[in-house]
Amino acid sequence: MICGGALCIERCACSQPKTATDNVVLLVLQYDIDSLKGSVPKDSDLEFTFLDSLLDATTAILAVDHEAVCLFVNDRCDESVLNILHKHGVKYIVLRCAGFNNVDLPTAAKFGIKVARVPAYSPEAVAEFTIGMLLTVIRKYHKAYNRVREGNFLLDGLLGFNLSGKTVGIIGTGKIGLLTGKILANGFNCKVIAYDPYPSPLAQGYGITYVDALDDLLKASDIISLHCPLTDSTEYIINDNSISKMKKGVVLINTSRGALIDTYALIRALKSGHVSAVGLDVFEREQAYFFADSSSKVIHDDSFARLLTFYNVFMTGHQAFLTSEALKNIADTTIQNLRNLEATGTCPNIVDKSS
Ligand code: NAD
């Protein structure tokens, strides 16, 4: 391994001559390097360059001489970035995640750059984390943990409520939403209702009942959990108007994408008490902070800083996916996507304008 500052160049042991198509630049963190290295087959001639900076218009130049760029959720792959990547001969974007809202697909198509993703790696990882986050905010595990460590065993302020019998609204019943609903209906005796423009035939068997309109879910739910993708139509799906339709004291959980929630509307609802507790694994402007140690930096985003001050908001830094099983699946599918693209120019996990 040759390291130069933030840039690490990792070469595989394979003795076959390298071609330009063997090169992949990956913008990754240590846990990704470990799992990806473990997934490269011995006979593979893929060659990687590992970087620890996010992709944006200032770092895109680092992809020079590489055929593929491998991204995660907070890398930015907009028109300006794609222009630079295209100019330097990048042919493939491989995402180590399911969501592809950070890639400008029409521009990628215009340049003939193929985009592939990992459509499913472990819905269990995210669904189980969602349940943990919900239990944390309603039973206040995070507050109890700190209190007990300080030798304070008072129970004042730790009052929770039972999940059993509560109505939980699931927005988006794809792989993760369905599993979350299934756990809540079968494991916790919740009444689980759901809204999705494309209802799943599996829902009924899992104990999940669809409502006809989103408003019906907003009005009836004690707890609302977001599991839809971020698209033009779902951006700020939780806003002043939708919150006003929810029950007073509703609990919100978002392990999907930050921009599903208008943060300023959420802050207003927390201040008024309309929303009684929130669990967030994602934040709409998380790119500036997540996946890095910002503990010695001033937070300039006042809405982010304000959220962190609420006693009834529990936040994590986009870690719902982070299990060893998920990382292995992500790495295996990513390597397979690259090998398919290299061999045939396409792969089953391509996303395009119609996705
Ligand atoms: P999926 O594609 O299987 O399911 C998404 C569902 O949302 C689909 O059924 C779709 O019909 C539905 N949907 C689309 N528009 C909707 C709308 N307007 N209202 C209601 N439903 C709508 O996706 P998934 O694998 O279940 O993942 C869900 C989301 O979770 C992803 O888009 C991603 O943003 C997020 N995610 C987060 C993490 C994390 O670590 N926090 C990890 C993986 C995925």
Does the C-beta of 316 come closer than 6 Å to ligand 1?
no
Active-site annotation, residues? 257, 286, 318
Superfamily of domain 123-315: NAD(P)-binding Rossmann-like Domain (3.40.50.720)
Helix axes 141-149, 123-139, angle to 10 degrees: 60
Span(s) in the chain for CATH 3.40.50.720: 22-121+324-344, 123-315
Task: Render pLDDT for 142-170 as a digit per residue (tens, 0 to 9).
Answer: 999 999 999 999 999 999 999 999 999 99
Does the C-beta of 321 come closer than 6 Å to ligand 1?
yes
Span 248-258, mean pLDDT?
A: 98
Whether the Cβ atoms of residue 261 and residue 285 lie closer than 8 Å to each other: no
**What is the distance of C-alpha 165 from the center of its chain?**
29
Task: Render pLDDT for 71-101 as a digit per residue (tens, 0 to 9).
Answer: 988 899 999 999 999 999 999 999 999 889 8
Ligand 1 atom nearest to 119, measured from its CA: 25
**Angle CA 112–114–120, to nearest 5:** 160
Confidence label for 9 from pLDDT (cuts 50, 70 and 90) = very low
Residues 6+ apart with CB under 8 A from 313: 270, 277, 278, 279, 280, 307
Does the C-beta of 93 come closer than 6 Å to ligand 1?
no
**Angle CA 109–60–91, to nearest 5:** 35
Confidence label for 103 from pLDDT (cuts 50, 70 and 90) = very high
Q: What is the average pLDDT value for the chain, to the nearest integer? A: 90
CATH code for the part of the protein at 22-121+324-344: 3.40.50.720
Identify the bridge partners of residue 103 per DSSP, sorted by sequence position.
77
- The first and second tokens of residue 54, run together, are 């996010």
- Whose alpha carbon is nearest atom 35 of ligand 1? 256
Residue from 74, 97, 121, 196 to probe ligand 1 pocket by mutation (most atoms less than 8 Å from CB): 196
- The first and second tokens of residue 124, run together, are 């269990």
Span 252-259, mean pLDDT?
A: 98
Task: Render pLDDT for 181-207 as a digit per residue (tens, 0 to 9).
Answer: 999 999 999 999 999 999 999 999 999
Task: Render pLDDT for 205-226 as a digit per residue (tens, 0 to 9).
Answer: 999 999 999 999 999 999 999 9
Count CA within 13 A, CB hemisphere, residue 54: 17
177 closest CA partner among 106, 214, 123: 123
- The first and second tokens of residue 263, run together, are 């943060």
Q: Is the ipTM of this complex over 0.90?
A: yes
Paired sense of beta strands 350-351 and 313-315, if any:
unpaired
Does the C-beta of 257 come closer than 6 Å to ligand 1?
yes
